[in-house]
């Protein structure tokens, strides 16, 4: 963090900002009185869920409101000048030279047909009148400063030739090219993998020090701002509901929304607690007017005055401002939420623990041995033919017991989704064995047998609405599995559909609606309901909550746990988010480039990872609580191409401990001394005490 | 949805009006469209009860427009629908089967597309004698190519959609995929495409008539009337040129309006969130 | 890129084989057989036999097709007994004129439709957009020959500004020298093509204007004009290159009508005259050549697209 700057050096001061966007039906008002200040050289984290107005605030500062959106009242004072009052030309000049912005998705935010150099230097050419040659020199220079490898060559490349992380570096270079006083980063790492995210966040922090610019870091992820931002503002329904110095906010969150949000984080779930604190309901519609506190309808502490009265901003201590009539106390430190958090005991009791309690070992639902999936890499000119293979899943073995959750975690391209599809019988493996309930389903051939096998395993998708025929009503969607499996009559199927929606906590009337009419959380519930229709023993959940906001995510995760307990289901839970997996899973498997590098009990793997990659993954996850000050293991670079994976251990190209043997011999899974089920595929596993060995310098 | 689009509603009304004009009109305004009446050739509009005058062989122009409209509409509709039906089947098969079958089927489409339509029509029309059914077949034989391409693209996109994947995960096969999901989701494209195909077919009839390969007299169609009227343009017999020209334009436009309206309607239904 | 180019070439070759096979089938199924249709109705049986033997029509089907391909490859497109000339010679005279007409029309249509489509996209849902859409739809719905006639009435009959007939010169130079005569035919063909081009530019441009990189460009503080032209329009034009290839058949079809209407001595007019006299050697050869020109033209357009668009140009070749 930066050393304290003069306290009153306010660079940006947003005051009572209202933005409205006329739409076909009514007027949306995404900002409803935003107050924010950014001090020179400091980093402000703006945190909120989707629809909170965080991105809109950033766009308002840039003067880039979408469509015919406009500032309806309030002011944005930048360096003393009200940006809402300046002319278009002046606004453009400031945008280009004094404020730089980094957008979320670096692939789509770069012009695909312009070279990186041309795009980076375009701002300098326009605003400083640099010649083409000088602009290029400037581009190379700035690209170097954002850590772009081989900057002098990359400058002539096009965006599609770069990896995601490098594209984001180019975006950052572009925003910095005229040395702005303020840098706005809108979800700069949301589209990136966690190890790359770590690199980019570190870069943004370094840049702030080096360039002395102020930074607004807009994100939905509380962990991203924790430990980086100097101050944090929490937004909800178009307002800033709480702002405070970062440490204070995380230590003493006052607004009930902030407190609920923190409590909903999977990493905040208490050990052994099955349920997360879930905020009921959804944020208000931005087209409707609200009176009183916009969070009141979802707040467990709301009183009558919250719903009716004005909500004044109160100051707590130094620069800690809260717009809440009944803020939580530091003394309670969040424990008041425990009562609210008490599990609703599910109807059927706890399925999986029931089996364990009975003393008999639970049966194995899924047994995977040496599972491999290779896709042909197409090439050739006249006729497309196979010129090689992409190794998506390579020699993976693990098993899942009845009622258990097996978490699969890894970065994009690691093969976890392909593995999920293999298990869900959506694709045929190239090699290996897949046993469901002790039956080898890889040898199933007949139409009837194959159909029967599908009853045992079902799938829940990341975007369930895309996984439902948009022209089918929900009752049709829910009875489709039964129709396919020729189970029951028309009446019994619709009865079953009613049961299913009740199981996932929805009302009957959803049956008559279409998938696109539901919010993300609701549609995931329906997706879960559908996966239960055939009464499978195993459900493969592919990133089931990745598209959801934290508060809704908690609802869905809780529901999944309830349903699991009620039906004695086993889950294969696939996610890139380690904290979610850790919360949900009994055991975890970590994948890298198609290989399972480590697996074992969830707490063991996440507390004392043995594979360097697992350690890297865990250390890269931004978390709210950073008490553990152990050394962090970081890596450079990004995932190599799966068409031509590295020989031996596939992680060796990025591993700080790699030796010669790693390149020659693929490591096999070895079980650690401390437990029966913790295994790691590494020639040089990390010590079990959580320390890091002295880095072995590359000897070869 | 559909009726929110005013142009589409106007288009639909126009089509209904033109159909009524062509098929019901002769009941209110019966005329002799078989025997020529050279004594009354080139009568100007309004003269001797000929509301729109007569043509070079004495046919009542208003009655002839009704009579000709029947051919234009029947050929346009029949050819457009036939082409859409065949193209849909071809494209859906190619897209869903994929691989070599797809490659071969699409090269056939490419080959036929690379022969400019009018050249092919005229070549065929020179070989065969143009009658109404032959005209329909000739036009449909070329016009199915575009729907085939479009539907193939749609079915390939549909094949990899998550809801088809989900259905396979429930144990469903390709037959069910096509029967329940593809049909439901591609029907919009097919219907929209059919309206544009009809519009195109009406124009093709006109072109063939202009090039001298329309249905021979005493049969008539608007295209034929327009092109034979063109030679009259210097002799100020304007009623032989502009009425059929305007009617063709109106008919083609109205099918386009309806097509655009339908396309919006099908898309909006999915976008409304 | 090379992979793409080779694959497109491969596809084009398959298409050429299919096209020639189709025209060969047509030739084979001509009324009275290929010989009678070539020699005319008054040919004696002996003449027909001699012709069949000379052309190899007494040989097995596939051999005949191979021989047909061989003749095509050597530039032998048959002999028009009606014109008493090799068809190839006729086509060599006529094809450049049709190409000139089509090129000029495509060029004019492109030059007009790019700014029109761009303006439409920028003013989407407002008056200029609706106006251009309406005009373009009218242009599309009007039969080409009616459109041409209206132009003649307007510009030559009523005002005598332009000649109603196309230049009649033998060579390209003579035709170009008589350029006022070209204006109406080119305009007619261009207007007919304009509707499709404009619609395409508009939708391509609308897609690009919604892309995130446009917002990035604005965030750099570029002027609105620069954002639209340098970023949105530039990227919208790459697919237009392919579109030019796709519209070659429509251009040739249009040329057929326009040449007849304005009496322009191109291949379309020759083709039309041949339909009147049922001169099948000319009809088949012209169809084949036009189809080949289409295939090659769209192949070239796709090559140009591959070279122009860095996303294709720099795509991986494995």
The CATH number given to whatever domain includes residue B185 is 1.10.3720.10
CA angle A329, A1, A103 (to 5 degrees): 95
Q: Do A103 and C231 touch (CB under 8 A)?
A: no
Considering the domain boundaries, does residue B228 fall inside one? yes
| pLDDT confidence bin for B240, thresholds 50/70/90 | confident
Closest CA in chain B for residue A520: B273
Whether C259 has a pLDDT exceeding 50, the answer reads yes
Considering the domain boundaries, does residue B59 fall inside one? no
Q: Which residues of B touch C142 (CB under 8 A)?
A: 245, 248-249
Q: Give the model's pLDDT for residue A333.
A: 47
Which two three-digit tokens encode residue B102?
């797809």
A377 in contact with C, Cβ within 8 Å: yes
Considering the domain boundaries, does residue B39 fall inside one? no
Torsion of CA C212, C218, C220, C225, to 10 degrees: 130
Closest CA in chain B for residue C28: B127
- The single residue listed with the structure tokens 């005991």 is A345
Determine the Cα–Cα distance for residues A363 and A355; give it in Å rounded to an integer: 9
Q: Do A426 and B270 touch (CB under 8 A)?
A: no
Nearest beta carbon to residue C213 from set A94, A110, A158: A110
Sequence-ordered list of residues with C-beta below 8 angstroms from that of A523, at least 6 positions apart, any chain: A463, A464, A465, A468, A515
Whether B270 has a pLDDT exceeding 50, the answer reads no
| Residue from C124, C206, C213 to probe the interface with A (highest A Cβ count within 10 Å) | C213
What are the phi and psi torsion angles at A375 (to 5°)?
Answer: -100, 145
| CA within 13 Å, CB half, C93 | 13
| Chain C: residues touching A (Cβ < 8 Å) | 2-3, 6-7, 9-10, 211-213, 215-223, 226, 231, 234-235, 238, 309-311, 314-315, 317-318
Count CB-CB contacts under 10 A for residue B101: 12
Q: Do B171 and A484 touch (CB under 8 A)?
A: yes
Nearest beta carbon to residue B226 from set C137, C143, C287: C143
Q: Which residues of A touch B171 (CB under 8 A)?
A: 450-455, 481, 484-485
Q: Do A379 and C318 touch (CB under 8 A)?
A: yes
B184 in contact with A, Cβ within 8 Å: yes
Read off the DSSP letter of residue B54.
B
Under a CB-based contact definition with an 8 Å cutoff, are residues C193 and C105 in contact?
yes
DSSP, collapsed to helix, strand or coil, labels residue A398 as strand
Which two three-digit tokens encode residue A220?
């939905």
Nearest beta carbon to residue A451 from set B162, B171, B273: B171
Q: What is the DSSP string of A451-505?
A: HHHTTTEEEE-SSTTTTS-TTS-HHHHHHHHHHHTT-S-HHHHHHHHHHHHHHTT
Paired strand residues for A79: none
Q: Which residues of A touch C231 (CB under 8 A)?
A: 111, 114
Q: Do B122 and C256 touch (CB under 8 A)?
A: yes
Under a CB-based contact definition with an 8 Å cutoff, are residues A222 and A195 in contact?
no
| pLDDT confidence bin for A101, thresholds 50/70/90 | very high
Sequence-ordered list of residues with C-beta below 8 angstroms from that of A597, at least 6 positions apart, any chain: A590, A591, A611, A613, A614, A651, A680, A681, A682
Which two three-digit tokens encode residue C204?
């391509």
Nearest beta carbon to residue A96 from set C211, C215, C221: C221
| pLDDT confidence bin for C108, thresholds 50/70/90 | very high
pLDDT tens for each residue of A457-499: 999 998 898 899 988 999 999 999 999 998 889 999 999 999 9
Determine the Cα–Cα distance for residues C215 and C192; give it in Å rounded to an integer: 35
pLDDT tens for each residue of B147-182: 898 888 888 888 888 899 899 888 888 888 888 888
Distance from CA of C124 to the nearest CA of B (A): 15
Q: Give the model's pLDDT for residue C105.
A: 93
Compute CA A233 distance to the chain's CA centroid, rounded to the nearest angstrom: 20
Q: Which residues of C touch A97 (CB under 8 A)?
A: 221
Which two three-digit tokens encode residue A368?
């995977």
Peptide bond into B218 cis (omega under 30): yes
What are the phi and psi torsion angles at A422 (to 5°)?
Answer: -65, -45
Torsion of CA C99, C104, C110, C116, to 10 degrees: -150
Q: Give the model's pLDDT for residue A428.
A: 86
| pLDDT confidence bin for A3, thresholds 50/70/90 | very low
A179 in contact with C, Cβ within 8 Å: no
pTM for this predicted structure: 0.84
Under a CB-based contact definition with an 8 Å cutoff, are residues A441 and A621 in contact?
no
| Chain A 244-263, residues with CB within 8 Å of chain C CB atoms | none
pLDDT tens for each residue of B182-213: 888 888 888 888 888 898 888 888 888 888 77
Q: Give the model's pLDDT for residue A697.
A: 45
Domains contained in chain B, number? 1
Under a CB-based contact definition with an 8 Å cutoff, are residues A591 and A574 in contact?
no
Which two three-digit tokens encode residue A321?
């401002």
Report the topology of domain C91-308: MetI-like fold (1.10.3720)
A641 in contact with C, Cβ within 8 Å: no
Q: Do A382 and C231 touch (CB under 8 A)?
A: no
Return the higher-pLDDT residue of A320 and A442.
A320
**By percentage, how much of chain A surpasses pLDDT 70?**
88
Average pLDDT (A504-528) is 90
Q: Which residues of B touch A458 (CB under 8 A)?
A: 169-170
Considering the domain boundaries, does residue B66 fall inside one? no
Interface chains of chain B (3 or more CB pairs under 8 Å): A, C
Which two three-digit tokens encode residue A379?
């090439």
Average pLDDT (A337-351) is 44
pLDDT tens for each residue of A61-89: 998 888 788 999 999 999 888 988 888 88
| Chain A 498-537, residues with CB within 8 Å of chain B CB atoms | 516-517, 530, 534
Nearest beta carbon to residue C145 from set B115, B210, B234: B210
Most trustworthy range by pLDDT among A332-341, B3-12, B74-83: B74-83
Q: At what angle do helices C280-308 and C234-246 cross, to 10 degrees?
A: 160
Sequence-ordered list of residues with C-beta below 8 angstroms from that of A265, at least 6 positions apart, any chain: A222, A223, A276, A550, A579, A624
Whether A5 has a pLDDT exceeding 50, the answer reads no
Q: Which residues of B touch A466 (CB under 8 A)?
A: 161-163
Q: Which residues of B touch A484 (CB under 8 A)?
A: 167, 170-172, 176
Distance from CA of C253 to the nearest CA of B (A): 5
Q: Which residues of B touch C271 (CB under 8 A)?
A: 119, 122
What are the Cα distances from residue B162, in Å, to A373, A426, A468, B143, C109? 20, 11, 7, 32, 41
Average pLDDT (A631-648) is 78
Considering the domain boundaries, does residue B8 fall inside one? yes
Q: Smallest Cα–Cα separation from A618: which of A655, A590, A658?
A: A590
Query: Which helix (H) or strand (E) covers residue C164, if one does?
Result: none
Under a CB-based contact definition with an 8 Å cutoff, are residues C236 and C110 in contact?
no
What are the Cα distances from residue A475, in Å, to A161, A479, A619, C39? 46, 6, 44, 71
pLDDT tens for each residue of A613-626: 999 888 888 877 75
Q: Which residues of A touch C3 (CB under 8 A)?
A: 379-381
Residues of chain C with CATH 1.10.3720.10: 91-308
Closest CA in chain C for residue B251: C141
Give per-residue burial for A335-346: e unless 16+ CB within 10 Å, then b: ebbeeebeeeeb
DSSP, collapsed to helix, strand or coil, labels residue A10 as strand
Nearest beta carbon to residue B168 from set A426, A463, A517: A426
Sequence-ordered list of residues with C-beta below 8 angstroms from that of C147, at least 6 positions apart, any chain: C139, C188, C191, C192
Q: Give the model's pLDDT for residue A160.
A: 87
ipTM rounded to 2 decimals = 0.83
Interface chains of chain A (3 or more CB pairs under 8 Å): B, C
Whether A1 has a pLDDT exceeding 50, the answer reads no
Whether B86 has a pLDDT exceeding 80, the answer reads yes
Considering the domain boundaries, does residue B100 fall inside one? yes
Q: In terms of residue numbers, what domain contains B226?
A: 2-23+71-270
Closest CA in chain B for residue C260: B211
Q: Do C2 and A381 touch (CB under 8 A)?
A: yes
Considering the domain boundaries, does residue B33 fall inside one? no
Compute CA A87 distance to the chain's CA centroid, rounded to the nearest angstrom: 39
A388 in contact with C, Cβ within 8 Å: yes
DSSP, collapsed to helix, strand or coil, labels residue C79 as strand
Q: Do C219 and A383 touch (CB under 8 A)?
A: no
As a residue count, chain C comes to 318
What are the Cα distances from residue A425, in Å, to A429, B166, B167? 9, 11, 12
Q: Which residues of B touch C138 (CB under 8 A)?
A: 249, 253
Q: Give the model's pLDDT for residue C180.
A: 83
A484 in contact with B, Cβ within 8 Å: yes
Which two three-digit tokens encode residue A269?
């779930």
C107-111: long-range pairs with CB below 8 Å, 24+: C108/C186, C108/C187, C108/C190, C109/C190, C109/C191, C109/C193, C109/C194, C109/C197, C110/C197, C110/C240, C110/C244
């Amino acid at each position: 963090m930066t050393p304290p700057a003069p306290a009153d050096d306010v660079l940006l001061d947003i005051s009572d900002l209202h933005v409205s966007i006329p739409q076909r039906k009514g007027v949306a008002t995404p900002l409803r009185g935003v107050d924010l200040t950014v001090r020179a050289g400091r980093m402000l984290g703006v945190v909120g869920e989707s629809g909170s107005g965080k991105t809109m605030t950033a766009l308002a500062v840039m003067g880039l409101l979408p469509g015919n959106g406009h500032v309806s009242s309030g002011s944005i004072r930048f360096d003393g000048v009200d940006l809402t009052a300046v002319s278009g030309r002046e606004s453009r000049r400031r945008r280009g030279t004094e404020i730089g912005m980094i957008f979320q998705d670096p692939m789509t935010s770069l012009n695909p047909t312009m070279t990186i150099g041309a795009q980076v230097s375009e701002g300098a050419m326009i605003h400083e009148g640099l010649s083409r040659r000088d602009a290029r020199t400037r581009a190379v220079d700035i690209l170097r400063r954002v850590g772009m490898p081989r900057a002098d060559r990359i400058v002539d490349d096009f965006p599609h030739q770069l990896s995601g992380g490098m594209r984001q570096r180019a975006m950052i270079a572009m925003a910095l090219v005229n040395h702005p006083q303020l840098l706005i980063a809108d979800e700069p790492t949301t589209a990136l993998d966690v190890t790359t995210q770590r690199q980019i966040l570190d870069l943004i922090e370094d840049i702030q020090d080096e360039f002395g610019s102020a930074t607004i870091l807009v994100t939905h992820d509380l962990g991203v701002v924790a430990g980086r931002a100097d101050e944090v503002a929490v937004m909800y329904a178009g307002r800033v509901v709480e702002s405070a110095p970062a440490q204070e906010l995380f230590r003493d969150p006052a607004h009930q929304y902030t407190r609920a949000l923190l409590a909903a984080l999977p990493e905040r779930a208490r050990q052994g607690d099955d349920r997360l604190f879930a905020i009921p309901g959804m944020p208000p519609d931005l087209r409707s007017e609200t009176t009183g506190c916009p969070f009141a309808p979802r707040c467990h502490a709301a009183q009558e005055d919250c719903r009716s009265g004005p909500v004044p901003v109160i100051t707590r201590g130094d620069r800690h401002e809260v717009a809440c009539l009944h803020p939580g106390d530091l003394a309670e430190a969040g424990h008041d939420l425990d009562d609210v958090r008490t599990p609703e005991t599910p109807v059927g009791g706890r399925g999986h623990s029931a089996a364990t309690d009975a003393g008999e070992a639970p049966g194995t639902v899924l047994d995977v041995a040496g599972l491999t999936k290779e896709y042909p890499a197409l090439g050739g000119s006249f006729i497309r033919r196979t010129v090689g293979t992409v190794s998506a899943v390579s020699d993976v073995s693990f098993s899942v017991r009845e009622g258990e959750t097996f978490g699969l975690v890894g970065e994009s391209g690691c093969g976890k989704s392909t593995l999920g599809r293999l298990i869900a019988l959506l694709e045929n493996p190239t090699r290996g064995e897949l046993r469901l309930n002790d039956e080898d389903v890889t040898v199933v051939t007949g139409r009837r047998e194959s159909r029967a096998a599908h009853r045992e395993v079902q799938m829940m998708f990341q975007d369930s609405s895309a996984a439902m025929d948009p022209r089918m009503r929900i009752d049709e969607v829910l009875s489709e599995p039964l129709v396919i499996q020729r189970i029951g009559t028309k009446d019994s199927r619709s009865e079953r559909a009613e049961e299913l929606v009740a199981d996932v906590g929805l009302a009957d009337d959803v049956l008559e609606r279409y998938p696109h009419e539901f919010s993300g959380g609701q549609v995931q519930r329906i997706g879960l309901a559908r996966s239960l229709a055939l009464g499978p023993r195993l459900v493969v959940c592919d990133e089931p909550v990745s598209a959801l906001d934290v508060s809704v995510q908690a609802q869905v995760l809780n529901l999944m746990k309830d349903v699991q307990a009620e039906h004695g289901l086993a889950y294969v839970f696939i996610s890139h988010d380690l904290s979610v997996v850790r919360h949900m899973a009994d055991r975890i498997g970590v994948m890298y480039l198609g290989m399972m590098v480590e697996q074992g009990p969830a707490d063991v793997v996440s507390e004392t990872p043995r594979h360097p990659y697992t350690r890297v993954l865990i250390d890269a996850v931004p978390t709210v609580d950073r008490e553990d000050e152990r050394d962090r293991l970081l890596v450079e670079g990004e995932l190599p191409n799966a068409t031509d994976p590295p020989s031996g251990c596939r992680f060796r190209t990025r591993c700080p401990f790699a030796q010669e043997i790693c390149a020659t011999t693929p490591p096999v899974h070895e079980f650690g001394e401390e437990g029966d089920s913790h295994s790691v595929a590494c020639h040089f596993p990390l010590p079990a005490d959580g320390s890091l060995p002295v880095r072995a310098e590359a000897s070869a | 949805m559909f009726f929110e689009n005013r142009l589409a509603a106007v288009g639909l009304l126009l089509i209904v009006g033109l159909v009524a004009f062509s098929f019901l009109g002769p009941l209110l305004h019966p005329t002799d469209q078989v025997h020529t009446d050279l004594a009354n050739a080139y009568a100007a509009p309004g003269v001797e009860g000929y509301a729109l005058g007569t043509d070079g062989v004495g046919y009542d122009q208003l009655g002839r427009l009704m009579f000709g409209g029947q051919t234009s509409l029947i050929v346009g509709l029949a050819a457009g629908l036939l082409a859409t039906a065949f193209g849909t089947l071809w494209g859906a098969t190619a897209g869903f089967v994929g691989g070599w079958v797809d490659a071969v089927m699409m090269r056939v489409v490419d080959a036929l597309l690379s022969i400019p339509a009018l050249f092919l029509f005229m070549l065929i029309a020179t070989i065969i004698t143009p009658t109404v059914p032959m005209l329909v077949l000739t036009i449909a034989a070329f016009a199915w190519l575009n729907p085939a391409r479009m539907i193939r693209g749609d079915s390939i996109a549909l094949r990899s959609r998550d809801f088809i994947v989900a259905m396979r995960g429930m144990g469903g096969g390709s037959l069910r995929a096509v029967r329940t999901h593809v049909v439901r989701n591609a029907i919009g494209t097919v219907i929209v495409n059919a309206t544009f195909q009809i519009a195109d077919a009406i124009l093709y009839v006109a072109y063939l008539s202009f090039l001298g390969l329309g249905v021979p007299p005493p049969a008539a169609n608007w295209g034929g009337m327009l092109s034979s009227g063109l030679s009259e343009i210097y002799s100020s017999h304007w009623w032989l040129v502009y009425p059929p020209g305007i009617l063709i334009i109106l008919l083609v436009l109205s099918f386009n309006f309806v097509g655009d309206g339908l396309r919006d309607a099908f898309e909006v239904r999915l976008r409304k969130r | 890129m090379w992979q793409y180019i080779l694959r497109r070439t491969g596809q084009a070759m398959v298409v050429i084989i299919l096209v020639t096979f189709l025209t060969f089938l047509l030739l084979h199924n001509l009324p009275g057989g290929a010989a009678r249709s070539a020699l005319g109705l008054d040919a004696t049986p002996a003449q027909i036999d001699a012709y069949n033997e000379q052309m190899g029509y007494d040989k097995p089907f596939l051999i005949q097709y191979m021989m047909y391909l061989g003749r095509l490859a050597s530039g032998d497109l048959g002999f028009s007994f009606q014109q008493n000339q090799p068809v190839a010679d006729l086509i060599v005279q006529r094809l450049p004129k049709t190409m000139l007409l089509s090129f000029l029309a495509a060029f004019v249509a492109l030059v007009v439709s790019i700014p029109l489509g761009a303006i439409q996209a920028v003013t989407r849902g407002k008056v200029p957009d609706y106006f251009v859409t309406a005009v373009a739809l009218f242009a599309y719905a009007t039969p080409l020959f009616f459109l041409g006639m209206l132009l003649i009435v307007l510009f030559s009959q009523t005002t005598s500004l332009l000649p109603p007939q196309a230049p009649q010169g033998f060579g390209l130079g003579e035709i170009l020298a008589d350029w006022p005569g070209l204006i109406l035919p080119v305009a007619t063909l261009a207007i007919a093509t304009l509707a499709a081009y404009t619609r395409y530019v508009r939708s391509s441009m609308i897609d690009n204007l919604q892309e995130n990189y446009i917002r990035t460009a604005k965030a750099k503080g570029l002027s609105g004009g620069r954002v639209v032209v340098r970023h949105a329009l530039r990227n919208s034009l790459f697919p237009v290159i392919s579109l030019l290839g796709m519209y070659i058949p429509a251009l040739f079809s249009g040329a057929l009508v326009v040449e007849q209407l304005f009496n322009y001595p191109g291949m379309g007019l020759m083709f039309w005259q041949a339909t009147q006299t049922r001169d099948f050697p000319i009809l088949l050869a012209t169809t084949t050549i036009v189809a080949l020109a289409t295939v090659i033209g769209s192949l070239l357009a796709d090559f140009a697209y591959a070279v122009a668009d860095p996303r294709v140009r720099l795509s991986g070749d494995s």
